[in-house]
Amino acid sequence: MRYTITHRTLYQYSSGVALCHNEARLLPKETPWQLCRPSQIRIRPRPALSDERLDFFGNRVLYFAIQDVHYRLEVTVVTEVRVLDERPFHESSPSPSWEQARQMLWENPDPEIIEARLFALDSPFVATGPAFRDYAEPSFPPGRPLLAAVADLNQRIYSDFKYDPHFTTVATPLDEVLQERRGVCQDFAHLGIACLRGLGLAARYVSGYLETLPPPGQSRLIGADASHAWLAVYVPGVGWAEFDPTNDCMPNTQHVTLAWGRDYGDVAPLTGVMTGGGSHSLKVSVDVAPQAEAAVKKFKPATNEIQPAPEP
């Protein structure tokens, strides 16, 4: 599938911001199953300087600083991506039993497997504990293949938890999510990760977008999409299998990957520190627009261009 993704963030401040430093993780990752065209990045006011780098997890990070007094900050990133049906795992993929997978993770000296152990440890937003392990247990009877077990857990989170955008914030503790059985995609991803890590498995957080289909007979609403999040579990020696507990599915061509990390804290789309600003308001709009496959041209490796600003 081919999409044009438009992610627009607008901050408005009650008093002037004299200086701000920001980091955006809004540039989609290149993966074997996802090709990206150079993004068009529009930042207003224009940053005094900006710099792209790859972070520890291989995500693309754009640093930028605005050094003149401003009352609003607008960041729009438009990227064309092509998602291929080539993710390493599908619903029917074979996998070792979850105990074997765990044993391999902790005992195999392969450098890649050793490195994956990072994702089996607690991280700032995901501290595991007996409650998560207990919740996960019914999905993990002895000898069950890893992917089947995780798919079951994924399905249970989907049916046990209520999607409720008014219940949680970025700062809602995971214990509360588990107890109240409600939250949003970010909470469900964190919850799944906590369950898997509690069993000694490696799991990571994936941020991205999801193509939403309009109800039959209606046309797509532009800009009504949202950022999305799901998780991936490590199958030692093979790779990462993705699961979306919010939609009870394994991501395929409708899921566009932005970045991944230990948890949300590693991949927050836009962070910043500013001097001044008073109170502020935030508007985010995301549009995932499918493009006709016929129009697919040759994709070049991703590098971006920051557009020159037209003079007002």
Which residues sit at the interface with another protein, rule CB under 8 A?
Answer: 11, 18-23, 48-49, 51, 53, 55-57, 63, 65, 67, 109, 111, 114-115, 117-118, 121-122, 124-125, 170-171, 263-266, 268, 270-277, 280, 282
**Closest to another protein by CB, 50 or 93:** 50
**Closest to another protein by CB, 121 or 224:** 121
Q: Give the CB-side neighbour count of residue 57, counting CA atoms within 13 A.
A: 22
What is the residue whose two structure tokens read 């857990």? 153
H-helix or E-strand spanning residue 228: strand 227-235
Q: Residue 300's closest CA among 58, 87, 35?
A: 35
d(CA 102, CA 198): 11
What dihedral do alpha carbons 84, 195, 154, 187 form, nearest 10°? -80
Residue 167, judged by CB atoms within 10 A of its CB (0-12, 13-18, 19+), counts as: middle
CB of 170 to another protein, least distance (A): 6
What is the residue whose two structure tokens read 């962070």? 271
**Closest to another protein by CB, 126 or 149:** 126
CB of 246 to another protein, least distance (A): 21
CB of 298 to another protein, least distance (A): 31
CB of 3 to another protein, least distance (A): 26
d(CA 3, CA 14): 36
What dihedral do alpha carbons 184, 186, 188, 189 form, nearest 10°? 160
